[in-house]
Structure 1
Amino acid sequence: MEIVMNDSILQKELDKANAYLRAKDPVEIIQWALGQAERPILTTNFGPYSASLVHAVNKVVKDIKVIWCDTGYNTPHTYRFANDLIKRFDLNMHIYSPKLTAGFRDITTGIPQINTEEHKRFTEEVKLEPFKRALKEHKPDVWFTNLRKDQSDFRRTLDILHFDKTGILKVSPFFYHTEFEMELYLQEFGLPNEKKYYDPTKVLAKRECGLHL
């Protein structure tokens, strides 16, 4: 089953594809999506349950481009976790960082309070602008991400497949997995988890940073 990758795709075609994939496991979803792709990417923040998507995609394709927008504010634990996964799966990493370092910001603006204009600018500078650079460089047509339905109210409005505002097909193979099911997946394959993750652009667990809006 295939869908036409262009701006005129009908919503019913996307709904049909989502219904088809809902009965598939993550690896089957990934295999299907790669059949639609010419320039796929995988994004990760090396946060909670990120090893699941890295592992599942790696089972299907070894050399996919892995995009990490490193804000510079990750915990030492997260950096060690990232380094371990990169080595374990020999990831084809492409790391993008803000133009200003976290150290410089610490003595100038710091991390602004959320829900302020200053924080919006901060989010744009440390995460959204680096990610826009990544998209401009790699021009992906399929984007694997680890969004899940139970993560936020906004994400409940999405599905396994959806198009972002630039026309990239976003694929979330674990979209319908609960946190308990994610734990089971990690245990089944002996994968580590990272729960000491901190995202200064979100702060609150169910708050969106803007990358997926």
Structure 2
Amino acid sequence: MRNGIIAMTGAAADLDCGGDPAQLTRLREDLESLEPAQRLQWARDQFGSGFAMTTSFGIQSSVLLHMLSGLPDFESVPVIWVDTGYLPQETYRYAKTLCDRLGLQPDVVQSSVSPARMEALHGRLWETGSDSDLDQYLQLRKVEPLESALDRLAVRCWASGVRSRQTSHRSTMTVLDPIRGRLSLRPLLHWTNRDIFYYMQDHDLPQHPLFDQGYSTVGDWHSSAPDGVDGEGRSTRFGGQRQECGIHVPGVMGDGI
């Protein structure tokens, strides 16, 4: 134990996502005893340049980004932001506010197919009501850009701010899961909305502008909505058609997701 952080060098460094389930179970048990910031430090120590973080600059993104900014040499950890080209103007402004505040320089990644080209060739895939069209949209705009960035950066483990209470799929997650050939770390997995609120308050973190308009989650402008009688949280995404964007699910879109 070093400053409360478990020493597992070798245990994770040599972990194969398709390897020993017992080894992965032991790592999960050890990580459960750590605070979220310690989990980030553990991953940074274990994977070095092979560790990265993803962010959406959404409603609750400031918490994990703030924790990262408190780590020594945090600038060496890539922060990957998938810009779909359809984010609300408020999100772009909020991202600049947070980056200026925390000293972050995100690695902004986008699809190789521009929004205009996609719409010309395939139409507005998000609004047809077809699951296959929505799969194609999410694959083009979110999953493929992220996977390309993870490949380019040789990432073996990446952290995100997903939480177990957000969707039924996320309720089945553990703090460390294999996903598409890499490990996914969820430092905030068991945090509640109350935990998020008080952390932001205690550290005087700025709130996303759309929060005051009733949004508890924000993605693309066309598929996000404020909480209301028809739903709240991620049940408002894509008109209720889909809660997950594909980034946090195994496999690729179209493989039974």
Both proteins in one fold, TM over 0.5: yes
Q: Could you tell me whether the CA contact under 8 Å between 2:69 and 2:103 is conserved in 1?
A: no
Query: C-alpha displacement at 1:103, in angstroms?
Result: 4.5
TM-score, normalised by the number of residues in structure 2 = 0.75
Distance in 2 of aligned mates of 1:14 and 1:136: 22
Q: Could you tell me whether the CA contact under 8 Å between 1:112 and 1:122 is conserved in 2?
A: no
Mark the CA change 1:89 to 1:107 in structure 2 (over 3 Å): closer, same or farther. Answer: same
Match of 1:6 in 2: 15
Is the partner of 1:177 in helix, strand or coil? coil
Match of 1:42 in 2: 53
Q: Tell which structure's C-alpha radius of gyration is larger.
A: 2
Higher relative contact order (CA 8 A, sep 6+): 1
Q: Could you tell me whether the CA contact under 8 Å between 1:50 and 1:193 is conserved in 2?
A: no
Mark the CA change 1:205 to 1:115 in structure 2 (over 3 Å): closer, same or farther. Answer: closer
1:22-171 matched pairs, under 5 angstroms: 22-38=32-48, 39-60=50-71, 61-63=73-75, 64-105=77-118, 109-110=123-124, 111-166=126-181, 168-171=182-185
**Deviations, residues 106-155 of structure 1 (Å, cap 9, x unaligned):** 66612333442122111111111211221221110120111111111111
Of the candidates 203, 207, 218, which is equivalent to residue 189 of structure 1?
203
Q: Could you tell me whether the CA contact under 8 Å between 1:145 and 1:171 is conserved in 2?
A: yes
Aligned residues: 212
TM-score, normalised by the number of residues in structure 1 = 0.89
Amino acid at match of 1:157: T
Distance in 2 of aligned mates of 1:116 and 1:47: 24
Identity %: 25
Structure 2 gaps of 5+ residues are: 1-6, 224-236, 250-257
Mark the CA change 1:119 to 1:206 in structure 2 (over 3 Å): closer, same or farther. Answer: closer
**Deviations, residues 67-92 of structure 1 (Å, cap 9, x unaligned):** 11100111111110011112222213
Distance in 2 of aligned mates of 1:52 and 1:178: 12
Structure 1 gaps of 5+ residues are: none
